[in-house]
Amino acid sequence: MPLPKEHIYTTKDIYELPEGQRAELIDGTIYDMAPQSRLHQKISTRLASIIDRYISDNNGKCEVYSAPFAVFLNEDDRNYVEPDVSVICDPNKLDDKGCNGAPDWIIEIVSPSSQRMDYMTKLFKYRTAGVREYWIVDPTQERVQVYSFGIPEDFMQYSFDEEIPVGIYPGFRINIAELLK
């Protein structure tokens, strides 16, 4: 007897979800997204603001987007994510629907329901898709894990009180604790 076939979802299925229901699609599997906490929103908003201000003040070409913002990671119809903060430096990747391909820098803010997804599934997916830098901000642990997927690859862990260097912008540092004051 043959094994039952697994259903593969596409971005069409994401767009057909009831209004207000948020989900992500990774390799054809849909993952529901829980509402974000107030602290999660505060961190996300402040990070996006300080990054946007830095880019603007330095006449940078990159653009910053906060969730919900569609990222079609592999430019296919089986991968759709909404990172908390996305920084895209190639304007050719942007259209009215979102970003087609890997952003240069992604920040995910961990919530209790997203730990496995942020630390494992998305880490692998972002690395293989071509994201240059990935931050996992964990408010419960008050730490930030920074992955640089260049050559060589690098991984560092910081506390919220430390100055965290931004790999794609040498000289730019972010202190999460200062942002939350």
CB 40 within 8 A of CB 66: no
Average pLDDT over residues 56-77: 94
How high is the mean pLDDT of the chain?
93
Read off the CATH number of the domain in which 52 is found: 3.90.1570.10
C-alpha pair distances (Å), 121 with each of 10, 73, 138: 18, 13, 16
CB 81 within 8 A of CB 24: yes
Asked if residue 51 has pLDDT above 90, the reply is yes
Asked if residue 73 has pLDDT above 70, the reply is yes
Residue 9 in domain: no
Residue 151 in domain: yes
Residue 138 in domain: yes
Residues 67, 152, 125, 175: what is their CA dihedral angle, to the nearest 10 degrees? -30
- What's the pLDDT tens digit per position in 119-169? 999 999 999 999 999 999 999 999 999 999 987 889 999 999 999 999 999
Nearest to 44 by CA among 73, 64, 20: 64
0.85 cut: is pTM over it? yes
Asked if residue 83 has pLDDT above 70, the reply is yes
Report the domain count for the chain.
1
- pLDDT at site 35: 87
Asked if residue 70 has pLDDT above 90, the reply is yes
